Amino acid sequence: MLAFIILGSIIFFAGSMMNKRNPQFQQFALGVKGIGVALVFLGLLFKSVRQIDPGTVGVKTLFGKVDNEPLGSGLHLVNPFLEITPFTIKTQNYTMSGVSSEGDINGDDAIRVLTADGLEVILDLTVLYKIIPTEAPRILRQIGSDYKDVVIRPVSRTKIRDNAVYYEAVALYSAKREEFQIRIFKSIEDDFKKRGIELENLLIRNITLPKSVKLTIESKINAEQDAQKMQFVLLKEKQEAERKRIEAAGIADYQRIINSSLTDRQLQYEQIKAMKELSLSPNSKVVISGTKSQVPIILNDK
């Protein structure tokens, strides 16, 4: 578009010079100048029609002055001398990681913080954010299009360091991790909003403790697991002892009941029943009956 304007201006200037130097070429010079004017017109027309992509707003600037009304997505007819700076309003992320291939900056870009107990903890962090559409002109005016390096990165790193000093290293790694994440989210959210940026989420991806602290935590966890295992064994032994006690009590109760209820008459009655059943058997047998207190002897000839 700009090339058309420049080329058209050159052609128009050439036609004008041709007409001045040789009047015989006046008719031809008029045609050349017409082509130049047409090219300039086309260039201005193309410069006047601007397309803003979906998920983007355009900030208008005319000779250094920023317009406060951004352009939404779609086609727009504007002043051809305007400069349009696109700003994405989609969700963006900025990652600071100790793994060189994961972060926005190559190399170790993890955040190193000092905790309340004076230990250094290493954090990997991802910031999810987006530009507030109506604030795009102010961002261009006050910050510029490199807001990632000017705001996102330094504010996030500073706020995390400022808030980490309220927690001990082990607490950050375990019990207080969620509380710490909420605290730094609120702190960064307020700072971003003042600059026209909306913080959507803050993800602590990894917390690396000093080696000595990790060994202490692992020893504590192993000791707790051993204690829980021993409690389980003791409970199982206790339950087995209780089962045996109940079983012994049941056997004792059974023997006591039998001893108290089994009389001579009862035994004699049981003997008579047994002899009666035996007499009905088809097999031949010999029964030797003793006294009333003795059990009869049964001889089977088979």
* Same domain flag for 103 and 34: no
User: Is the domain of 100 the same as that of 82?
Assistant: no
Same domain? 156 vs 198: yes
Is residue 154 located within the same domain as residue 102? yes
Residue 235 within a domain: no
**Which of 88, 108, 124 is the C-terminal boundary of a domain?**
88
Helix (H, G, I), strand (E, B) or coil at 104: coil
Statement to judge: residues 67 and 35 lie in one domain: yes
* Residues spanned by the domain of 107: 92-209
Question: What pLDDT does 4 receive?
Answer: 47
232 falls within a domain = no
Note whether 71 and 96 are same-domain residues. Answer: no
The answer to whether position 230 is within a domain reads no
**From CA 81, how far away is CA 44, in angstroms rounded?**
9
Residues 183 and 106 in one domain: yes
Helix-helix angle 177-194:153-164, to 10 degrees: 140
pLDDT of residue 21: 57
**What are the b/e assignments for 82-104, b being 16+ CB within 10 Å?**
bebbebebeebebbbbbeeeebb
Is 25 in the same domain as 100?
Answer: no
> What pLDDT, on a 0 to 100 scale, did the predictor assign at position 74?
87
State the first-to-last Cα distance of the chain, in angstroms, to the nearest integer.
Answer: 126
pLDDT of 217 reads 65
State the pLDDT at residue 76: 81
Residue 72 DSSP label: -
Residue 57, domain member (yes or no):
yes
For residues 103 and 32, membership in a common domain is answered with no
Residue 234 within a domain:
no
Domain ends where: 209, 228, 244? 209
Question: For residue 80, what pLDDT is reported?
Answer: 78
What was the pLDDT predicted at 13?
A: 53
Inside any domain, residue 249: no
Rg (CA), the chain: 48
Instruction: Identify the pLDDT of residue 20.
Output: 56
In a domain, 32, yes or no: yes
Of 70, 88, 106, the domain-final residue? 88
Q: The domain that contains 98 carries what CATH number? A: 3.30.479.30
Give the length of the chain: 302
- Which segments of the chain does DSSP mark as H helices, in order? 2-21, 26-48, 136-142, 147, 153-164, 169-173, 177-194, 211-261, 264-279
- HSE value, Cβ hemisphere, 13 Å, CA-based, for 91: 7
- d(CA 82, CA 80) in angstroms, rounded, equals 6
Is 233 within a domain? no
- Say whether 93 sits in a helix, a strand or coil: strand
Locate tokens 């045609």: which residue? 31
Q: What is the DSSP string of 178-214?
A: HHHHHHHHHHHHHHHHHTTEEEEEEEEEEEE--HHHH
Q: How many beta carbons lie within 10 A of that of residue 288, not counting itself?
A: 9
- pTM beyond cutoff 0.75: no
Same domain, 131 and 114: yes
Distance CA 216, CA 168 (A): 14
Does residue 14 sit in the same domain as residue 44?
Answer: yes
Q: What's the pLDDT at 247? A: 82
Residue 28 CB neighbour total at 10 angstroms: 13
Q: How many domains does the chain have?
A: 3
Instruction: Compute mean pLDDT per 10 residues along the chain, 302 residues long, and list them.
Output: 54 56 57 58 66 91 90 84 90 90 84 88 93 94 92 93 89 84 92 94 87 69 74 84 84 74 66 72 60 51 50
Check whether residue 103 and residue 203 sit in a common domain.
Answer: yes
Cα distance between residue 161 and residue 174, in whole Å: 18
